Amino acid sequence: MTQTHSLVDVDVEEKDVACRTHAGELIRFYCEPCGACICVVCAFQQPHHDHDVSTFSEAISKHRHALDGLLGRCRDRAEQLRTHLELTARWAVNIRTAEQQVYMYNYTGIQSWDAWVRGQHGRGHSYSMGNI
């Protein structure tokens, strides 16, 4: 074992899984036709003794392409989700801007209405400095 394993290697190889059939034997091989993880005893017994059996590291390097493909698809999916999130965030900002515009419109509307009321109310009374 080298120290330059990818995450995939570490995940699989660091597990010392005992064989279900042979207690005390660790799973060290992968039977291609069965798609099963087997121990050294299994590899020499029925039904695997004439099967195409590879060691775990062989199996991993053989299947790494498929694993990488899967990981790549996951990354693509994550990227898509991120784009969606960014779009959603942008929409949220747009909605907030629109809300602010509506609020400002109402606010200025009320202000001018207020000013108009004050203007109406103030008519006839003089609050200006000039008349004091």
Q: Taking CB under 5 A as the rule, does residue 54 contact Zn ion?
A: no
Q: Look at phi and psi of residue 109 and say left if phi exceeds 0, alpha if psi is from -120 to 50, else beta.
A: alpha
Strand order in the sheet with 36-39: 36-39, 27-31, 53-55
Stretch that binds Zn ion, among 2-10, 49-57, 92-100, 111-119 (CB under 5 A): 49-57
Q: Taking CB under 5 A as the rule, does residue 37 contact Zn ion?
A: no
Q: Taking CB under 5 A as the rule, does residue 32 contact Zn ion?
A: no
In angstroms, the CA 130 to CA 126 distance is 9
Smallest gap from Cβ 43 to Zn ion, in A, equals: 8
Given candidates 28, 29, 30, 48, which one binds Zn ion under the rule CB under 5 A?
Answer: 48
Could you check whether the bond before residue 47 is cis, i.e. omega within 30 degrees of 0?
Answer: yes
Nearer to Zn ion by Cβ, of 12 and 39: the residue is 39
In angstroms, the CA 120 to CA 104 distance is 24
Nearer to Zn ion by Cβ, of 21 and 108: the residue is 21
Given candidates 51, 63, 64, 71, which one binds Zn ion under the rule CB under 5 A?
Answer: 51
Stretch that binds Zn ion, among 9-17, 39-47, 83-91, 122-130 (CB under 5 A): 39-47
Kindly list the residues in this chain that would bind Zn ion in the complex (CB under 5 A): 19, 21-22, 31, 34, 39, 41-42, 48, 51
